[in-house]
Chains A and B, each alone.
Chain A
């Protein structure tokens, strides 16, 4: 089965600094990877996805993610953090990757806190 791991429960960054939220994956074959964000008392919002093509994927709110096959990673990044980026971030993978009956498996989440 496919899976993702988010090794950090919390990431703290000063406003204006670059941020990285880490995600590693375990899949057989080519992965379909996603990032979602959850603001307090809200559902999850889709940020970006990697299916194929360029390893650097651009998404909503200035976020991007880099797919690294050799390191089996899909880290979320932003060049300059905003206080409004503070939220819970989930990495996810499609399991199994090639079936119409597949589901999205979510990581455990990383809380991002941006201090002014």
Chain B
């Protein structure tokens, strides 16, 4: 079983609320990623981090922000949720210095619904 945890699994929240999606891994992986995925659709990279205090924006523009204060923790925050943010958010990690022998380990995802 993967040692990467996302909470909550499901979240229904009102427009304008601030939310934080949690992602934690116990594997000591340096690299962590956030993907956004509409149900049954392709994945879009929105944020990634190569280590503590390192964060980068991904290929898909997102109004969310991330932080990486500790190696094991990579939370994603939406300051003001909107219905367009309704989606599934997947967190993943992989060890450095190379991903060639590992691929990614994924969490179970957070399904966010903004009403």
Chain A interface residue count, CB cutoff 8 Å, equals 26
B108 A42 Cβ-Cβ under 8 A: yes
User: B33 — which chain A residues lie within 8 A by C-beta?
Assistant: 103
Task: Provide the bound-state CA to CA distance between A45 and B40, in Å.
Answer: 15
Q: How large is the interface on B (under 10, 10 to 19, 20 to 34, 35 or more residues)?
A: 20 to 34
Interface string of B38-58 (1 = CB under 8 A from A): 001111010010100000000
Interface positions, chain A 84-110, Cβ under 8 Å from B, are: 88, 90, 92, 94, 97, 100-104, 106-109
Give A39 Cβ to nearest chain B Cβ, in Å: 10
**Structural contact, A111 and B107, CB atoms closer than 8 A:** no
Q: Which chain B residue lies CB-closest to A34?
A: B103
| Cβ B106 vs Cβ A43 within 8 A | yes
Expressed in whole angstroms, the Cα–Cα distance for A36 and B107 within the complex equals 13
Whether A14 sits at the interface, judged by CB under 8 Å, is no
A residues within 8 A CB of B15? none
B98 touches A41 (CB 8 A): no
Indicate which residue in A100, A104, A109, A111 contacts B103 across the interface (CB closer than 8 Å).
Answer: A104
Q: Are A46 and B104 in contact (CB under 8 A)?
A: yes
User: Given the complex of chains A and B, what is the CA–CA distance between A94 and B40 in angstroms?
Assistant: 22
Pick from B40, B90, B92: contact of A111, CB under 8 Å? B40
A107 to B96, CA, bound (A): 23
CB distance from A107 to the nearest CB of B (A): 7
User: B108 touching A49 by the CB < 8 A rule?
Assistant: no
CA distance A43 to B110 in the complex (A): 9
Partner of B90, one of A43, A101, A103, A104: A43
Q: How far apart are B17's CB and chain A's nearest CB, in angstroms? A: 23
Contacts A41-B111, A103-B45; is A94 near B99 (CB within 8 Å)? yes
6 additional A-B pairs beyond A44-B106, A100-B96, A108-B41, beta carbons within 8 Å, are A36-B103, A41-B108, A43-B108, A46-B103, A101-B50, A104-B104
